[in-house]
Amino acid sequence: MAKALFYIEGKTVPVQHEGVRLIITKNLIHMGFTKGGAFNLPDGRVEVVLEGDKQKLIEAHKEVKENLLQWMLQASEDKDKLKEKIGNPGVKVSDLEFNDNLLVLDIGLFSHSLTFDQIYKGVSVYKDLSKAIKNLNKTLEKKI
């Protein structure tokens, strides 16, 4: 198993408070990851840590890099406001950095990472997360 991380940042403003942590977590679960998470950093970036097969980490990073802005727009209630706030292209995903010394926790710990005042933003994401977890459980049951 390999461990890796990458960072997400806005070109002109922080990407935090735009649902990035939950969007990333939801998509990592959809990709079949059981270990990983996304964290807000004090400087406005979001750090993503993952553990899994090295090729799967590379593919996941590529998918995030190619699709994050679209995922953010899909999750946004006000797409025009989001576009205006983050600019164009607006979101930068750093290179993938492998580091076997990372502490990577169970992804389930981060699927409920909203603070109480952010719950209204996460209801639809939680709905998708619950579907993803159910589908992951079905997939895992078939493999066992």
Domain count, the chain: 1
Rounded to an integer, the average pLDDT of 45-69 is 92
Q: How many Cβ atoms sit within 10 Å of the Cβ of residue 77?
A: 10
Tell me the range of 32-41, 69-78, 82-91, 116-125 where mean pLDDT is highest: 32-41
How does pLDDT run across 95-117, given as a tens digit for each residue?
Answer: 999 999 998 888 866 555 544 44
Q: Which of 88, 11, 106 is nearest to 50 (CA)?
A: 106
- Angle, helices 54-75/20-30, rounded to nearest 10 degrees: 130
Query: What is the residue whose two structure tokens read 């590379």?
Result: 58
CB contact at 8 A, 21 and 99:
no
Return the CATH number at 128: 3.30.70.100
Residue in this structure with the two tokens 């994050």, named with its chain if needed: 68
What is the domain range of residue 120? 2-143
The model's pTM is 0.71
Lowest mean pLDDT among 20-29, 30-39, 129-138: 129-138
Mean pLDDT calculated for residue range 33-59: 90
